A and B are shown apart, each in its own frame.
Chain A
């Protein structure tokens, strides 16, 4: 187990390094000259030269890359101060330390991702299990049908609808916004509830369908039938035998989906004007801010890799037949 985790972590470090390298070289070594990109239209050559000088862009590319990568491990010194160990550089645009900016914005994205995941796991998988348990009933038909329709909605369509109904026309709730949980848990909850629910709704629908299918498959398994034949109650068999087995495909898909959940959080942030990682990525791309974009990309990749490793561990825990190796 320990060996598995160590090996996966080592693999993750290599992947992160490669992602950093690809991002970096596409940005810098590509034909797009950052300085003129940042300067925009109608930019004088001297101004471009100044920008290049100030940002260290006239150093050899390899040196720049080395500076960036070593900064993550050892920290870096900038003219206006030292940047401690996980240093992702200094934003070209605002001059802030990228790592601090990301840490500042990440709680919003984390709330969306984790909150959304909890919501759709409870409601989505729950609804799927119930409709599998009462297969063919009106309840089942309703759950299957509505999940089909709901999964066709998009965050950027459902979000404005929710805002119109709950905020603009009725005034039942305030405009969503992020308040740190340490500051005021109640306002944190109220402020994030609409975005989290909207994001979860889209995913809930997929998981309802999947949980239902997986549960039905499990119920047809031989060990489940044997348990029923031995005289165990339907409820007992359902919750003790089939339930666990049906989780396996769900956990697998959950691990794959983490990337799209991060993406979902990005769309949700843009829809509700929240200040999270996604907004940061858009800003970085719009202002052609290399360190910011690099930082966001590597942070996002790190997040996904960690969750993937956790998923694999959860997988082995649920299904004892899986040996981590």
Chain B
């Protein structure tokens, strides 16, 4: 498996990249220890400053989104109260003028309302953003995990068994890829929602969430399946898999012990690219008006509202937009760093 030339040179002097060579020099007096590919990846990743900062930012987003109730407790607001219409607030502390536009500067930023308020209703933007991020991020996390698992299973089956199975799985994948995705999302959200709820009744929010999950899942697994299939296809012919086969390992064991560990890195890289794009798709659904609806706080819905108010109150858009740009930027940079850490050869 390892070529003789490589085997001869495999002493401590062989380093995977120049940076590692430097550290192993320092470590020399200590005992040499083997490192797993995961540890090597982690070491490379830790040295990538952009990657570390971006990972920090992304984790920060997930944490504050998870702590949304805590954050709004700090600001003393909540995303559902109509501060501009509720008499208890309007009389003591008016925040909207006669036209329903926020008083004060920059969309009504004040000590009470940190990011300003929504025109017309007077809901608190900070609370809406926090809760909206919670909806979007955790929804997207669920969808992405589901997509990944489905894609990996289908890709593994196609790639490992090959032949006719692979052919038909390939055709089905092509078929799903031919769907006009965004149009399909828009057209089927109401239909899928109607699968669960009688249209004559109000749709509960979590049914909407389930409907979004199903629609995105149905048209989202193909990329992953293709990636895993092509990786497995090349792995299948490798010597260690042949060796496992010859020694009588069951297909399940081969898939689990020989193939799966080798597909982990492309899967992880794909995951970091897929998650932000899922977040954007969910935001797109809400933006188009078929995802989450009033009054569920959702990131995408803030943009729909922002586009509506853009003429009178452009400041409303600022905080949700800036938050999204920073988040997506960091996630994309993180994706690049993860890829570089797994595969140092793919340097830019």
Compute how far the CA of A319 lies from the CA of B112 in the bound complex, rounded to whole angstroms: 62
User: Which A residues lie within 8 Å of B333 (CB)?
Assistant: 148
Compute how far the CA of A174 lies from the CA of B329 in the bound complex, rounded to whole angstroms: 32
Known: A160-B317, A285-B290. A151 touches B332 (CB 8 A): yes
Compute how far the CA of A161 lies from the CA of B307 in the bound complex, rounded to whole angstroms: 9
Number of A-B contacts (CB under 8 A): 155
User: Which B residues lie within 8 Å of A110 (CB)?
Assistant: none
Q: Is the CB of A282 within 8 A of B178?
A: no
Stretch of B82-90, B116-124, B190-198, B240-248 lying at the A interface: B190-198
B106 within 8 A of A: no
Complex: chain A residue closest to B328, CB-CB: A152
Known: A18-B175, A168-B310. A285 touches B332 (CB 8 A): no
CB distance from A154 to the nearest CB of B (A): 7
Q: Is the CB of B183 within 8 A of A148?
A: no
Find residues 263-297 in chain B having any chain A CB closer than 8 Å to their own CB. 280, 283-284, 287-290
Q: Is the CB of B307 within 8 A of A160?
A: yes
Compute how far the CA of A237 lies from the CA of B268 in the bound complex, rounded to whole angstroms: 38
Compute how far the CA of A128 lies from the CA of B289 in the bound complex, rounded to whole angstroms: 36
User: Which A residues lie within 8 Å of B51 (CB)?
Assistant: none
B188 within 8 A of A: yes
CB distance from A153 to the nearest CB of B (A): 6
Q: Is the CB of B314 within 8 A of A168?
A: yes
A43 within 8 A of B: yes
Q: Is the CB of B194 within 8 A of A32?
A: yes
Compute how far the CA of A220 lies from the CA of B8 in the bound complex, rounded to whole angstroms: 30
B184 within 8 A of A: yes
Q: Is the CB of A282 within 8 A of B329?
A: no
A248 within 8 A of B: no
Q: Is the CB of B199 within 8 A of A37?
A: yes
Q: Is the CB of B178 within 8 A of A304?
A: yes
Contact with B along A35-58 (1 / 0, CB 8 A): 011001111000000000000000
- For chain B, which range describes its interface: under 10, 10 to 19, 20 to 34, or 35 or more residues? 35 or more
Find residues 75-133 in chain A having any chain B CB closer than 8 Å to their own CB. none
Known: A156-B307, A157-B303. A285 touches B284 (CB 8 A): no
Determine which of A168, A281, A301 lies in contact with B179 in the assembled complex, contact meaning CB atoms within 8 Å.
Answer: A301
Complex: chain B residue closest to A283, CB-CB: B186
Determine which of A18, A42, A168, A300 lies in contact with B183 in the assembled complex, contact meaning CB atoms within 8 Å.
Answer: A300
B100 within 8 A of A: no
Q: Is the CB of B175 within 8 A of A15?
A: yes
B205 within 8 A of A: no
Most B C-beta atoms less than 10 A away, residue of A37, A156, A262, A267: A156
Determine which of B180, B201, B283, B306 lies in contact with A304 in the assembled complex, contact meaning CB atoms within 8 Å.
Answer: B180
Compute how far the CA of A270 lies from the CA of B290 in the bound complex, rounded to whole angstroms: 12
Contact with B along A232-249 (1 / 0, CB 8 A): 000000000000000000
Q: Is the CB of B290 within 8 A of A282?
A: yes
A159 within 8 A of B: yes
B187 within 8 A of A: yes
Q: Is the CB of A262 within 8 A of B183?
A: yes
Complex: chain A residue closest to B312, CB-CB: A168
Complex: chain A residue closest to B202, CB-CB: A41
Compute how far the CA of A213 lies from the CA of B201 in the bound complex, rounded to whole angstroms: 53
Determine which of B183, B287, B306, B314 lies in contact with A297 in the assembled complex, contact meaning CB atoms within 8 Å.
Answer: B183
Find residues 257-313 in chain A having any chain B CB closer than 8 Å to their own CB. 259-260, 262-263, 266-267, 270-271, 277-278, 281-282, 284-286, 288, 293, 296-297, 300-301, 303-305, 308
Compute how far the CA of A154 lies from the CA of B317 in the bound complex, rounded to whole angstroms: 12
User: Which B residues lie within 8 Å of A305 (CB)?
Assistant: 178
Q: Is the CB of A154 within 8 A of B183?
A: no
Q: Is the CB of A281 within 8 A of B199?
A: no
A322 within 8 A of B: no
Determine which of B191, B201, B283, B329 lies in contact with A32 in the assembled complex, contact meaning CB atoms within 8 Å.
Answer: B191
Complex: chain A residue closest to B189, CB-CB: A285
A250 within 8 A of B: no
CB distance from B330 to the nearest CB of A (A): 8
A60 within 8 A of B: no
B262 within 8 A of A: no
A320 within 8 A of B: no
Q: Is the CB of A168 within 8 A of B288?
A: no
Q: Is the CB of A42 within 8 A of B175?
A: no
User: Which A residues lie within 8 Å of B189 (CB)?
Assistant: 285
Compute how far the CA of A234 lies from the CA of B325 in the bound complex, rounded to whole angstroms: 38
Compute how far the CA of A255 lies from the CA of B326 in the bound complex, rounded to whole angstroms: 29
User: Which B residues lie within 8 Å of A159 (CB)?
Assistant: 307
Chain A positions within 8 Å of B, measured between CB atoms, are 15, 18-19, 23, 26-27, 30-33, 36-37, 40-43, 148-149, 151-154, 156-157, 159-161, 163-164, 168-169, 213, 259-260, 262-263, 266-267, 270-271, 277-278, 281-282, 284-286, 288, 293, 296-297, 300-301, 303-305, 308
